[in-house]
Structure 1
Amino acid sequence: MLNSPQGIYVDSNLNLYIADSANNRIQFIQTGQLNGVAVVGNGSSANIILNYPTGIVLDANGYLFIVDSYNHRIVGSSSTGFRCIVGCSGGGSTAFQLSFPQSVAFDSYGNIYVTDRNNSRVQQFALQTNNCTIPTTTTTTTTSSSSSTTTSTTTTTTSSTTSSSSTTSTTSTTTSTSSTTSSTTTSSSSTTSSTSVTTTTTTTTTPVPPAFYCPGTNIGAYCNVTSDACSMSQPCLNAATCFPDLTVPVGYRCGCQTGYTGSTCQNDERICKDDTCWNNGTCIEVNSTTVNNNGTNFYCNCSKSFTGMHCELKVNLCVNIKCQNHGICQTVNMSWSCICLTSLFYYGNYCEIETSALKVKQALSKSFASVAITVLVLTCSFVIIMDVLKYVFKIDPIKAERLKQLQAKKSAKSKSKPKARNVAVRFQYIA
């Protein structure tokens, strides 16, 4: 498992090199694989300790160059193991030091470029020239010194009509001769200054092995890399064997495994492929001329829950199962089960068993139904008996009661109706 990976490199064979920063290691994951191995750092056999690597590059000779960020350096591999390339004296800001570098890259001339993160710059270093020594760091120091020289000269001249004498005076010696009463003195001084500049250049060199001439087909700084097409490009696929062959244009031949064809064994023509049988089915090759298998050359031995030519169909175990009381059959874990929709009322393998709650409800329903039916039967019987007595036997048990009710209604109507008043009308004429 990776932890905060910062850099990745993909080689010509699509293999991955990953800078697993927080785990302080370089992980190598081969093409087609999901798990990797530590080739440098923690968990590896390499003779170097990394501290939060952030970048990685693989050169043409198969050597690794790693940005060891927290150690402020660039390390590289060789035929004798790993060694420090840049920043070997610790972190700093000088021309030969780095401070938390982030990434590394090469140009076509073999120069290396490093992003020096904390120093906010990109450093260039020459890793390979035609000389036996390579300047990895060049420092130029200029020292300025100033010197001043001052010279003072004083000249005095005394003259007279009778005699003359000359007196010359310097800073350390004075001679004077005078024989006159009047004299004239002249003084002059001069100052000369000079400044000198000294420049010192210091070059630090790192010895490297001289470039070897490889007489055979090998290449590389130590003639340890095979240059044939099989070793350089590994062109054969699907576990095929590569054989160098200079008689063909591509320079190699591929010995394919059974079922693979093509110049690089890229065509998978196997009868039983990885995806022939689905759902963990096992593919078995058969002879279609001797075994009747619908004209195919394979047979899929399916697991219990699947069927079909490619085990693509799920077996329906509920075909012959009938769940009662509206239950639904469902396939579960290579078996069947009835799902009782009314689980409050039914349960069991086929939802055939009634619950206690359902039995109580059924008993109450039957009781209410019996009472209702009894009342209805009695009511209908009474009506029928009364009609038979009245219309068949001319017996009216309620005749007297009915007449009594009619008389009572008439009396009530006569009492409630008021009598009409006599009204006299008198006409009067007015003339």
Structure 2
Amino acid sequence: MLRWIIFFIIYLVLGFYSFQAVKTASRYPWVHYLFIALYILVIANFLYQFMGTDGGRVLSRPKSYAFGFLLAMLAFQIITIIFLFSEDIFRLLLGVYQKIFSTEKEFSIPSRRRFLSLIALGVAALPFGALLMGMYKGKYNYKVLKYQLEFDDLPDAFDGYRITQISDVHSGSFDNRKKVAYGVDLINKQQSDVILFTGDMVNNKTEEMRPWADLFSTLEAKGGVYSVLGNHDYGDYVDWESEAEKKQNLKDLKALQKEMGFDLLLDSHRYLEKDGDRIALLGVENWGRGGFKKAGDLEKAKEGVAKDDFKILMSHDPSHWEDVVINDDYHFHLTLSGHTHGMQFGVEIPGWIKWSPVKWRYKYWAGIYEELGQFINVNRGFGFIGYPGRVGIWPEISVITLKKKGLT
């Protein structure tokens, strides 16, 4: 309870400060009242959603939106306060200067300048509006990102082989069937040889996927649809009534994936064959750094795979690639991961800039990277969780074409 009181006090202080910009910029009382009403509504909804029992770290849809609206309001307040605080320092110094050097020795602080408050509100409106738009539209703004990777030892028959990768569906967050259906159809339209899903089918429970299972069951590729588990798929963030209930949930999710036509790789491998050639497809359970489940067993997945086979590895968390895979005595030509979501927030202009706060935690957080002659693609995710939107980092469908060097 104490942390909620402290949080509420901080929120009130920030709101009071940012309200000064609204009062200075507008002389209309209805504008002031509108700001106050919105301000109170956002915090009241957030406290209502989060102060009750939460069943563990489960973030329901109403909680996600409460968090999203609070995030937008805090962004507005912080940007406004940066401007106001800077002006207040200047006003205070000017007041001290006048007190010392003016003939009138009465100390006074100049009034706030209206134009600066207008600028502050205008700048603050940008992230505020972007976060709201990300909740309304950005989360379903699917993008198909295409890559071509060349390898010296790719089997000849696989030259031009197309892989579609999706990751981090997080079906418990979906709220628009038409948009999700469009995304699934977009995956199929790529007409790739194989579809690979790299984990986090649900937020917490198998039941979240059932309303969407019929849509994802329509995914098809002549080489098959394969999957691995992500950290959210194990149900670790729920306060289950018993361990048996938790185990049953995971068992149900595995069964559901099979019903949907997904071949789930659990520290195992398959061979993809074409015209007499083959490549090894390996999949491990979740292995993550920083408190995430380390269930994946790469050694077990490798059993029966030759060192000189061409290998594609599916591993949900890219920290596994950094900490284990690229230094393994086997050469994994291509690893496919997800997990980071690109934090669902950032700035990307191809060829110019790629930035998100998530880069401070993950060295490999979005797109293609190469180390020691091995590639990884970190998919930005098909769905969303936590903040119910995306800003600048859009939901991704990766299409990777394998090419053999020297072949025309």
Could you state the TM-score of these two structures normalised by the residue count of structure 1? Answer: 0.15
Q: Which has the higher contact order (CA 8 A, sep 6+)?
A: 2
Task: Identify, as 1 or 2, the structure richer in strand.
Answer: 1
Q: TM-score, normalised by structure 2?
A: 0.16
Give the number of the structure whose residues are more often helix, by fraction. Answer: 2
